[in-house]
Structure 1
Amino acid sequence: MSRRIAMTFAALIAALLVLAVVPVGVAVDAKERESFRFDAISAARQVSASAEEYLVDHHSPDSMNKALAETAEHGDCVAVYKADDTLLSSAGCPQATDSQARALIAAVRATRADELERTAQDGGWLQAAVPISDSDKYSGTVVFARSSDELDDHIAVLWVWLGLTGLGVLALGVVLALRLARWVSRPLSGLGSAAARLGDGDLDVRAETRHGPAEVRALAATFNRMAEHTQTLVHGHRAWVADVSHQLRTPLTALRLRLDVLAGESQGETAVELAGALEEIARLSRLVDGLLAVARAEGRVPRREPVDVGAVAAERVAAWEPVARERRIELVPAGAAAGPGAAGPGAMARLGPGDLEQMLDNVLANALEAVPDGGRVLVTVARADRRVLLRVIDNGPGMDEQAKQVAFHRFANAGARGSGLGLAIVHRLVNADGGSVRLTDSAGGGLTVELDLPSES
């Protein structure tokens, strides 16, 4: 943004400089050349006046010769021609007697009374032809030539100074544009950084409100109010979840202990009924734990950190291995059956602390519940386009399309053996971490749960 603003201002200043400096330079150039032309014609008229005294008034040629000599001393050229175009006298360089000079003489003879002088550029020389006349009687022509090298050098210096001035103003404008751009964009960058940190779970972050334009400061103040409100809501939700957890688990635990005591002292049908009641209490406890897990997943703002997906997957597979062995299910960890695209060790993702463990526990619990004895559950980890793909593949009964569409809803699967909240918890956790979860059919039958996780790099 800073570069774009600076480039826009620089382009605008450059356009203004071109529109201002170039016309000034052109105008000064034209004025200097016109002044140079006027000086040359004036010098030619002075010589013409001296020549007129000799040719028309028949005075001594001393005055004319003196004027010719002074002209030559100044580095100019001058020649005096009679009425029949024969050369009377000349001084200085040959530019006053060349073919271009002869053409000017012819033009002067044919000119009107209100256009007496004629000028022409002959290479680096300006030539001026002035008639020698008295009472409109043509008596000859004076051709005067002056080098324009000094004028060209002067104009070149003028353009250089104009260019340097323009570049200086442009440089100053660029510096001011950069400062303006930084003044505007730096608070916005800080606001964007604060928003990113808030999204990553840093609820204490606040934007700077002392710098930048008034609109940006107002936006930062609004962001801070939003962050404070979000922090209050999240902390209140967490406190509520903790209170509910304490209030629900305590009576359930007490009730289960009392039923355990009664079951130990009962026999016959009473013992059977108490055993059924204990199973219901256990199921209710699992349901409460699941609801609390969903509430935590929905109310949390994770502060993400690098997580080694392969290492966590191997650790959770090892934790569930005894359960799989008890049910005679083959549980294959990540890397044991690596195929094309396998990530290998060091597949890092950015996730909230403990999120991946909780997601894997729910997915593995569902898979081990669904797979019949003697079945197989495979865990794979792979990288793909700045993402880490974690798959749990089983060869169980799988799901039909209707069941897949509602699988991430609470209690959507009426035939679920567990609480019906496992995939809902996974869905909310992975979305909070910036990932996604998909359900597909396994090759050969079964269900594949694919967790698409954001890579660290």
Structure 2
Amino acid sequence: MTRRITLSVLALLTLVLVLAVVPLGVSMAQRERMSFRDEVAGDASTISAAAEEHLSDHHSDAEAAQLVRAAGRRGDCATVYDISGAVVLTTRCADVADGDGASLVRAVLRHPGTRVVEDDQWLTTAVPVGETDDTVGVAVLSRSADPLDDRIDDMWLRLGLIATGGLAAAVGVSLLLGRWVGRPVHAVAASARKLGEGSLDARAPQVSGPPEVRQLAAAFNTMAARTEALVHGHRAVVADVSHQLRTPLAALRLRLDLLATGADRATAEELVRAQEEIARLSRLVDGLLAVARAENASPRPVPVRADEVAAERVRAWEPVARERGVTLVARCAPRLSAYLGPGDLEQVLDNLIANSLDAVPAGSTVSVDGTRRQDRVVLRVVDDGPGMSAQARESAFRRFGNPQATGTGLGLAIVHRLVTAVGGTAELLPTPGGGLTVRLTLPRPDTSSAKTRDADAAAP
């Protein structure tokens, strides 16, 4: 933000300065040149008037000579010619623009009138001596243009320094403005990122920046406080429900066990079926509580060694798989790390492996593999069992959405919640040759850290 504000202000001010300073400089340079010409023309006319008294009225040439000598002391070249073109008075220099003073004198004598000739070094003004219809000579005054050029260069230098100073001041002000606006915005963004990562106590400072940004920070803090209260309230409800439901279910199961002890065979069979329903209800309650915890929890993601977790969960489920005649293997790339909440990957793999073991017949194979794909980690749980229909796959991640589920139907909902909470995806795909493939796409920790470092580096 600071860079964009600075560049925008700099571009705008540069355009304004170009449109204002350049025409001003050109105008001032033109006025300097006109003033220089008028000054030379005035001095030449003064010499011409003094020379007229000598050439027309035959007075002494003392005044004209004094003016010519004064011109010489100033560094000018002054020469007075009579009607025949002969030199009457001179500063003993022949510096005339274009280097052809004789042609200039002849031109003035033929067509009386002031002539001005200019080149890179000299400005020469030729003024007729006497009236236009009674010209008795020509006064020629040449003055070096170097002082004029120096003044113009100095003028452009001052204008350039003023423009540069203005640009520097604009850059400084825009940097201060950008930081004044940008820092609180970055602080709000950082607080939002922390809140999204699970730090429910994250709040944005409200002590700096323009009023609109402070209002934004206040609104964010209000939202964060309400979110924190809501999440804590949901967690309290989950804990209360867990206590209130599990206790009566356990008591009911105990009472049925006592009744079954002295009951006849028919009654005992009914009590066994009742106990099975109670056990099913207990699993359903546990599943609902697990889903509620997953939906209400906001864990802070951490780097997790997916290859080690997959190998450890396969070893843990190996006895169950062997008992059912199923081959369970893990094939993950070495040093494979994913970005997930603490303990979430274990819960995800447990649900997926348990679902696969329940679905496949004896002699089947269930594999857990993982690979890297650019900035993502792809984990797959593949089985060669009966698979799922396309309609069942579309609704399987919803609670009780899988009509083919033999259990509570909540395991995939938990998996979906834990994976998507960190920005990952979960998909159900048919296994080539028959079966079901669960594909999980998770962020890599090194990529997430790099993104965080880039965001932090962009803040002023």
Asked if 1 retains the 8 angstrom alpha-carbon contact of 2:383 and 2:435, the reply is yes
1:139-154 mapped onto 2 (5 Å cutoff): 139-154=136-151
TM-score of the aligned structures, taking structure 1 as reference length? 0.92
Q: Distance in 1 between matches of 2:248 and 2:276?
A: 16
Matched, 1:187 2:187: no
Letter in 1 for 2:440: L
**Cα-to-partner distance string for 1:90-138 (whole Å, 9 max, x where unaligned):** 32432238655445445545668xxx43322122111111111137422
Q: Distance in 2 between matches of 1:451 and 1:434?
A: 11
Q: CA deviation at 1:154?
A: 1.9
SS in 2 for 1:95: coil
SS in 2 for 1:145: strand
Matched, 1:388 2:377: yes
1:270-419 mapped onto 2 (5 Å cutoff): 270-335=267-332, 343-345=333-335, 347-419=336-408
SS in 1 for 2:95: helix
**Cα-to-partner distance string for 1:273-300 (whole Å, 9 max, x where unaligned):** 2222222221111111111111122222
Matched, 1:74 2:63: no
Letter in 2 for 1:413: N
Q: CA deviation at 1:187?
A: 0.8
TM-score of the aligned structures, taking structure 2 as reference length? 0.92
Q: CA deviation at 1:260?
A: 2.8
Q: Could you tell me which residue of structure 2 aligns to residue 26 of structure 1?
A: 26
RMSD of aligned alpha carbons: 2.0
Asked if 2 retains the 8 angstrom alpha-carbon contact of 1:312 and 1:356, the reply is yes
Return 5+ residue gaps in structure 2 as ranges: 448-460
Q: CA deviation at 1:320?
A: 1.2
Q: Could you tell me which residue of structure 2 aligns to residue 340 of structure 1?
A: none
Q: Distance in 2 between matches of 1:245 and 1:110?
A: 122
How many residue pairs get matched?
446
Shift in CA distance, 284/107, structure 1 to aligned 2, threshold 3 Å: farther
SS in 2 for 1:334: strand
Return 5+ residue gaps in structure 1 as ranges: 336-342
Q: CA deviation at 1:344?
A: 2.0
Shift in CA distance, 135/390, structure 1 to aligned 2, threshold 3 Å: closer
Q: Could you tell me which residue of structure 2 aligns to residue 53 of structure 1?
A: 53
**Of residues 222, 225, 243 in structure 2, which corresponds to 1:225?**
222
Q: Distance in 1 between matches of 2:263 and 2:227?
A: 53
Q: Could you tell me which residue of structure 1 aligns to residue 452 of structure 2?
A: none
Q: Distance in 2 between matches of 1:105 and 1:436?
A: 97
Q: Distance in 2 between matches of 1:69 and 1:4?
A: 64
Letter in 2 for 1:238: R
Asked if 2 retains the 8 angstrom alpha-carbon contact of 1:101 and 1:127, the reply is no
Query: Percent identity over the alignment?
Result: 52
Q: Distance in 2 between matches of 1:94 and 1:316?
A: 107
SS in 1 for 2:331: coil
Q: Distance in 2 between matches of 1:182 and 1:97?
A: 59
Q: CA deviation at 1:381?
A: 0.9
Letter in 2 for 1:315: E
Q: Distance in 2 between matches of 1:295 and 1:416?
A: 19
Q: Distance in 2 between matches of 1:420 and 1:132?
A: 119
Q: Distance in 2 between matches of 1:103 and 1:405?
A: 103
